[in-house]
Chains A and B, each alone.
Chain A
Amino acid sequence: MSTTVDTLHHEEHHDHKPSGITRWLFTTNHKDIGTLYLWFSFLMFLIGGSMAMVIRAELFQPGLQLVEPHFFNQMTTVHGLVMIFGAVMPAFTGLANWLVPMMIGAPDMALPRMNNWSFWILPFAFIILLSSLFMEGGGPAMGWTFYAPLSTTYSNDSTALFVFSVHIMGISSIMGAINVIVTIMNLRAPGMTYMKMPMFVWTWFITAFLLIAVMPVLAGAVTMVLTDKYFGTSFFDASGGGDPVMFQHIFWFFGHPEVYIMILPSFGIISAIIPTFTRKKLFGYSSMVYATASIAILSFLVWAHHMFTTGMPVVAELFFMYCTMLIAVPTGVKIFNWVATMWRGAMSFETPMLFALAFVILFTIGGFSGLMLAITPVDFQYHDTYFVVAHFHYVLVTGAIFSVMAAVYYWLPKWTGHMYDETLAKFHFWASVISVNVLFFPMHFVGLAGMPRRIPDYSVQFADINQIVSIGGFAFGLSQLIFLWVVIKCARGGEKAAAKPWEGAEGLEWTIPSPAPYHTFEKPPKIEG
């Protein structure tokens, strides 16, 4: 049933892999599980993306053309849920699975069987969520934030299934996070002290703590929604002494750290890629670590900046405003460190670097619009407009998703043993970076002019900009098929990759052959210096 790597090494072929479907179903190998996570995430990215296409097609013109408003609401809701819990979070978990053990010189994750479990429950969660779209009355249509009473009094039958599928997503994230924490605390190679860990490991370490702290709170929130809707409780109903605003407090206590869960690993990725292609060490490593930790701590103190228009006491509004603005400080430390890393570096512009550079610039735009939204009186104006949509898509698409793409290009040679097609990849980059700005930048303008989010129709004066936005959206959606093509092409063959295909790369993962053997670091490596 089990064996130590030591005996595997002697008794079996070095790179022995089980074959067939059972390899993927029964696997305890961190690389297999990482691959599963990444493909699952890409599939969800396409499904969530096609929902976004429906949204943009409906918004191509004012008036109602293609879909019913109720269906439009389901699309915005499920698009958000699928992208957050199905695409971005599993992509990061997949990267953590592939990279964390290789970066710290460990043979695998600390709890490999639980690792398999935490992946394989995800497809079931999403089958349940997506199948609820086909129920009588339709799927969840209350927005991904499922505010009460939209999710309680006014929601349809799919709510029960939504609640339990979110429970499973939460269990999956918590188990994944526990695995990352235990692996990092316990399986570092001798000499790999905490302050020698690569930034990606550090950022994931901190992200994992955020996950185990807030995913259970989300579970509590959906549980209260379930009992309010079906069992007559009144947590979010004022006639029973509850408060719908209480839902928002509980939800955003989860929801704001969740935002950082989806960006901190990106910081780690960018902190790996920029030094490689500038051929310099990362500027200010320890300040990066402290900045990440500060952002994580502050993330628990800012949740109500999502709720400035709910009528909180002024003292609370000011508290949350200042705390939110405080986050710009450690984030600024990071941006300046990346820029300082590039200063006088011998830079080259391979695709991972292009995505990393786009990340630094475009994420900063998203950060600045976030700062605008943090200002309470200003937020009264911006709240629930397309300005907010523009803001969080800049941080999530050109932030989180661009960083995932940068990571895929950067580590693909290590995973597959082949170099990807640089020309095609550059084409993918330029197509994405241009279309994504056509898609999201004009949203700032319609937002400032007052176009509300989550509504299938709009005033005619917004028509031109919405048409441009939709064209950008379709172009961005199509561009991602190039990404799929590049990855498949690279997996199937191509120029052989060296153990260290990037001249300036540093880290343990580049000391092992490409593709990485099925089992790595059976004996812990010695960390010098």
Chain B
Amino acid sequence: MAENSKYYVPASSPWPIMGAIGLGLIAFGAGHTVLDVTKNTDGYGSNILTAGILVILVMLFGWFRDQINESMSGKFNQQLGRSYRQGMSWFIFSEVMFFAAFFGALFYARNVAVPWLAGASNNAMTHSVLWPEFVAQWPLVETPGGTTTEAMGWYGLPAINTVLLLLSSVTCHMAHIALENNRRGRLKLFLGATILLGGGFLFLQGSEYIHAYQELGLTLQSGVYGNTFFLLTGFHGMHVTLGTLMLIIMFLRIMKGHFTPQSHFAFQATSWYWHFVDVVWVCLFVFVYVL
């Protein structure tokens, strides 16, 4: 803790309160959008939601601009860098726990709820009284209520997507090494490749959804198999989208000559985030598709 002799405390800033207003508008607008959409009413929900997103975008732009200017003018020290890195790691941990809730739902539905509905454990009466015809199976292609669907296989698009994301984690790491060795050409090449692989993943994921809806009859309403499938892959896809946007911003900053081999917290955080979405995908591929 030797470098503690000089602390960094930012002056007051208008961006957080703006972010709070933005988030408030998003929550209020999202709630009303859900109501408007599901009840087929003309409401103002989506307008408020859009306004909130715009406010958040302005806020992010302003906040990060200040942050980048401070960083470029050398106001940060090693201690602050450590704070940022630790903050980012614990944020990623909280994201892990968010996915854990949905993986937990998947395991519970598959190993407890579905077998119990078919009479496992001490549930013989549940089975014979509620849905005596119901047969436990996973993927649950026929629900107790009678909804049927087809299961999504792991070969084909999902397998290709796994290769794409694993490859992108490698290129992301290569870009990081290139940055640390100050080889800017390689850095741009590998970072660009990472972005393309991420974009490719998202495109194929979209095609897979279309395939699921149009050919397999696998939808969000297809019972708990479809629920866990779409919420897990959907939230993962949202995180890949965010990660890709972050990578694009890093690419633009690198084109402007930002980052040095010693000081590149934003790049490191983005790279960690990217590895995190990759690891989540590996778990997804194993537990949602293969097993």
Establish whether residues B98 and A216, one from each chain, have CB atoms under 8 Å apart when the complex forms: yes
Assess whether A216 is in contact with B97, with CB atoms less than 8 Å apart.
yes
B86 touches A181 (CB 8 A): yes
The one of B5, B24, B27, B223 that contacts A524, using a Cβ cutoff of 8 Å? B5
A105 to chain B: closest residue by CB: B4
Q: Is the CB of A4 within 8 A of B102?
A: no
Q: Does B236 lie at the interface of the complex (its beta carbon under 8 Å from any beta carbon of A)?
A: no
In the docked arrangement, what's the CA distance between A253 and B105, Å?
12
Closest to A132 in B: B31
Residue numbers in B under 8 Å from A243 (CB-CB): 108-109, 112-113, 116-117
Contact among B16, B90, B122, B147 with A181 in the assembled complex (CB-CB below 8 Å): B90
Bound together, the chains give a CA A164 to CA B91 distance in angstroms of 20
Contact B11 A2, beta carbon cutoff 8 Å: yes
Q: Which of B156-164, B177-185, B224-232 contacts A (4 or more CB under 8 A)?
A: B224-232
Task: Give complex CA distance A227, B83 in Å.
Answer: 36
Q: How many Å lie between the Cα of A186 and that of B147 in the bound state?
A: 54
Is A427 in contact with chain B by the CB < 8 A criterion? no
B143 touches A216 (CB 8 A): no
B224 touches A234 (CB 8 A): yes
The B contact surface, by secondary structure, is: helix
Asked if B1 CB lies within 8 Å of chain A CBs, one says yes
Q: How far is the CB of B6 from chain A (nearest CB, A)?
A: 5
CB within 8 Å for A26 and B14 given contacts A4-B6, A242-B224: yes
B94 pairs with A239, CB closer than 8 A: no
Which A residues are in CB contact (< 8 Å) with B86?
181-182, 185-186
The residue in chain A whose Cβ has the minimal distance to the Cβ of B137 is A241
Q: How far is it, in angstroms, between the C-alpha of A160 and the C-alpha of B145 when the chains are bound?
A: 26
Nearest to A106 among chain B residues (CB) is B7
Q: Is the CB of A232 within 8 A of B15?
A: no
> Which chain A residues border B87 with CB–CB below 8 Å?
110-111, 114, 178-179, 182
Query: Are B83 and A238 in touch, CB under 8 angstroms?
Result: no
- Report yes or no: B97 in contact with A524, Cβ–Cβ below 8 A: no
Tell me the chain B residues, 86-103 only, with Cβ under 8 Å from chain A: 86-87, 90-91, 93-98, 100-102
CA distance A528 to B45 in the complex (A): 59
Contact (Cβ within 8 A) B13 A113: yes
Contact of B11 among A3, A114, A185, A216 (CB under 8 A): A3
CB pair A116 B105 closer than 8 Å = no
**Minimum C-beta distance from A210 to chain B (A):** 11
CB distance from B51 to the nearest CB of A (A): 14
Q: Would you call A233 and B143 a contact (CB within 8 A)?
A: no
B252 is an interface residue with CB less than 8 A from chain A: no
**Residue from the set A27, A220, A227 with the largest chain B CB neighbour count within 10 Å:** A220
Question: Is B211 part of the binding interface, using a Cβ–Cβ cutoff of 8 Å?
Answer: no
- The complex places the Cα of A182 from the Cα of B118 at a distance, in Å, of 49
B205-238 interface code vs A (CB 8 A; 1 in, 0 out) = 0000000000000001101111110010000000
Q: Is B259 part of the binding interface, using a Cβ–Cβ cutoff of 8 Å?
A: no
A86-131 residues with Cβ-Cβ distance < 8 A to B are 106-108, 110-114, 116-117, 120-121, 123-125, 127-128
A232 touches B98 (CB 8 A): no
Within 8 A of B (CB), among A1-41: 1-6, 8, 18, 22-23, 25-29
Q: Are B17 and A238 in contact (CB under 8 A)?
A: no
A7 to chain B, nearest CB (A): 10
Which residues B41-82 have CB closer than 8 A to chain A?
A: 63, 66, 69-70, 75, 79, 82
Q: Is A396 an interface residue (CB 8 A)?
A: no
Cβ contact within 8 Å between B90 and A125 = no
Let me know if A240 and B145 touch, CB within 8 A. Answer: yes
Q: B70 near A219 (CB under 8 angstroms)?
A: no
Report A154-192 CB contacts with B as 1/0, cut-off 8 Å. Answer: 000100110111011001001001110111011111100
In the assembled complex, how far is the CB of residue B241 from the closest CB belonging to chain A, in whole angstroms? 17
CB nearest neighbor in A for B121: A313
B243 at the interface (CB under 8 A from A): no
Q: Provided the pairs A215-B94, A220-B101 are in contact, do residues A18 and B12 lie with their beta carbons within 8 angstroms?
A: yes
A22 to B18, CA, bound (A): 12
How far is it, in angstroms, between the C-alpha of A496 and the C-alpha of B249 when the chains are bound? 54
| Docked pose: A161 CA to B36 CA in angstroms | 12
Cβ-based interface call for B21 (8 A): yes
Within 8 Å CB of A163, what residues of B? Answer: 31
B152 part of interface (Cβ distance < 8 Å): no
Supplied contacts A186-B83, A217-B101, 13 more A-B pairs, CB within 8 Å = A2-B75, A3-B9, A113-B13, A113-B16, A117-B16, A121-B19, A182-B86, A213-B94, A233-B227, A238-B117, A241-B117, A249-B104, A524-B7
Q: List 19 A-B contacts (CB under 8 A).
A: A2-B10, A4-B7, A4-B8, A5-B8, A22-B12, A26-B12, A26-B13, A27-B12, A28-B12, A113-B16, A116-B16, A125-B27, A161-B31, A178-B91, A186-B79, A186-B82, A230-B38, A241-B144, A524-B4
Smallest CB-CB A-B distances: 4 pairs: A220-B101, A124-B24, A239-B145, A120-B20
Name A's B-contacting residues (CB within 8 A): 1-6, 8, 18, 22-23, 25-29, 106-108, 110-114, 116-117, 120-121, 123-125, 127-128, 157, 160-161, 163-165, 167-168, 171, 174, 177-179, 181-183, 185-190, 212-217, 219-221, 223-224, 226-227, 230-235, 238-243, 245-246, 249-250, 253, 313, 519, 522-524
Q: Footprint of A on B, CB under 8 Å?
A: 1-2, 4-17, 19-21, 23-24, 26-28, 30-32, 34-35, 37-38, 63, 66, 69-70, 75, 79, 82-84, 86-87, 90-91, 93-98, 100-102, 104-105, 108-109, 112-114, 116-117, 121-122, 130-131, 140, 143-145, 147, 220-221, 223-228, 231
